[in-house]
Amino acid sequence: MNYQHAFHAGNFADVHKHTVLARILVYLRQKPAAFRVIDSHAGAGRYDLLAAEASRSGEWGEGIARVWEAVQADAKVGELLADYLGVIAACNPRGNLRTYPGSPLIAQKMLRLQDRLIACEIEPRAAANLAGVLRGDHRAKALAIDGWTAIGAYVPPKERRGLVLVDPPFEDATDFTYMSETLAAAHRKWPTGIYMFWYPIKTREGPDALARRLRRHGIAQILRCEITLRPPRADAGLAGSGLILVNPPFTLEQDLQLMLPALLRILAPQAGQASGRIDWLAPNL
């Protein structure tokens, strides 16, 4: 699977991962101590939903566009999504949905003065765009470096608080293997950090093998969160979106129990086979 993000910006998977990202950042901001976000596969940072790539796929119309229109109907979910939607609103000051922020821009918008962001991207065009998006902000640094290498190089951060976000392009199935091995190595160096790993669900083979490998590593406090809009099939497109969350904020599971059903109602209003899953791969100690 070659996940070129410009074609998929703002789709249901982005909504899933970025709503969870925003909730984690809200939690980190509750304490005055500084934190750092390490975004290993940051992408371009900002996406034009009316550009050729996003227009050709049109996936954002069934993702952020639906949430943008529908979230006002549920006050509690609206409260949980307020920071996420606030960033999107800031990127679209005229009120018309045209620009979608990638994960580094969402993180940047939610940093405080004392917090820091390292955003890594190796693809030259995306890296150049990312540098432009973050230019002029002393809190944020864009690095043209391989994301898998960056995790080993920048963990643990000097703040000793923060989040490692891993959202690779999944150009081949080996990214599932890289995930488990990279997480295990990073966790040994920084066992108290929060880790958020995203993966696509096209078939169950890769995600289920990832879960088995993570269990074997013996890492505690691994929460899995998935949404699936249709039955996974090898001959079909992206069916679902998955997150592995290590050391998640203690409030996050409860937030997800509220958010996921609401997101599924919005993102798949006529898909009777849509489903969500929140479970612990390793115990919540």
Q: Which of 14, 39, 167, 255 is catalytic?
A: 167
Contact 258, 268 (CB under 8 A): no
Element (H, E) at 226: strand 222-228
Tokens of 111: 């940093």
User: How would DSSP label each residue in 16-53?
Assistant: HHHHHHHHHHHHHTTSSS--EEEETT-TTSEEETTSHH
Active site annotation includes 115: no
Quote the crossing angle between the two packed helices 147-154 and 174-189, to the nearest 10°. 10
Give the burial class of 233: count Cβ atoms within 10 A of its Cβ; 0-12 exposed, 13-18 middle, 19 or more buried: exposed
Distance CA 74, CA 83 (A): 15
d(CA 256, CA 65): 21
State whether residue 119 is helix, strand or coil.
Answer: strand
* Residue indicated by tokens 């566009």: 65
Helix (H) or strand (E) holding 61: none
Structure tokens at 123: 């693809």
In the chain, the amino acid numbered 259 is M
- List, by residue number, the catalytic residues: 167
